[in-house]
Structure 1
Amino acid sequence: MKKWAVAGLSLLLLAGCSSNTADKKEALDGETLYGNKCSACHGGNLKGAVGPSLLNISSKYSEDKLFKVISEGTDKMPGHLLSAAESRVVAKWLLEKK
């Protein structure tokens, strides 16, 4: 009986470790983060929906300013939806889009 309990706990621990790895990988992917947290308002194609279009955002914002908007939000957009590291990744990803 004790062996089954140890085996069960081991499986739970292994499952937890693998999901943490997946979360860390996702945090490095701006497209995935955008799709999960931003696309509902800004559209999957960056053309806008409830929120404004983000196409050619580099003509409007520097990386630091865009990071601040993503991190802190605005009067119409909530902030703190992403961690600081995730906000930086999404800002860089958006600035690469044309």
Structure 2
Amino acid sequence: MKKFVILAAGIALLTGCGSGSSPLSGPAETVMIYRTNCLNCHGSELQGRMDEQSNLQQVGQRMSQEDIAAKITAGGNLMPPFAERLTPEEIDQLAAWLAEKK
């Protein structure tokens, strides 16, 4: 029985050691800002839930950090503005993190 438990634990550890990382990996505070404010429309894997533009998995390829910050601040299309919900620092932090998604 002990061998089975050790084998199962080893398999569980190896399964978690994949080469890919979650799209939500990053600074804990930034990820929390995303989860609290963005997850409903942009998804748990940044895949987007509204339309093609809501997919953020490679948003850094199509938008600069400044453009991302402006979009978060002012909103547009289906996205509401977050200027009154997030601080400028939180917006900059989120925009920098998203700009790295390429």
TM-score, normalised to structure 2, is 0.63
Q: Is contact 1:71-1:83 (8 Å) kept?
A: no
Q: Hey, what's the Cα distance between the residues in 2 that align with 1:97 and 1:73? A: 19
Quick check: which has more Rg, 1 or 2? 1
Q: Which runs of 5+ in 2 are unaligned?
A: 1-27
Identity over aligned residues, as a percent? 30
Letter in 1 for 2:37: K
State whether structure 2 residue 82 is matched by structure 1 residue 82.
Answer: no
- Pairs aligned (count): 71
Per-residue CA deviation, residues 66-96 of structure 1 (Å, 9 max, x unaligned), is: 1000111113110023221111111111122
More helix by share: 1
Q: Could you say which structure has the greater relative contact order, defined with CA pairs below 8 angstroms and 6 or more residues apart? A: 1
Letter in 2 for 1:88: D
Letter in 1 for 2:31: E
Aligned-pair RMSD on alpha carbons?
1.6
Q: Which runs of 5+ in 1 are unaligned?
A: 1-27
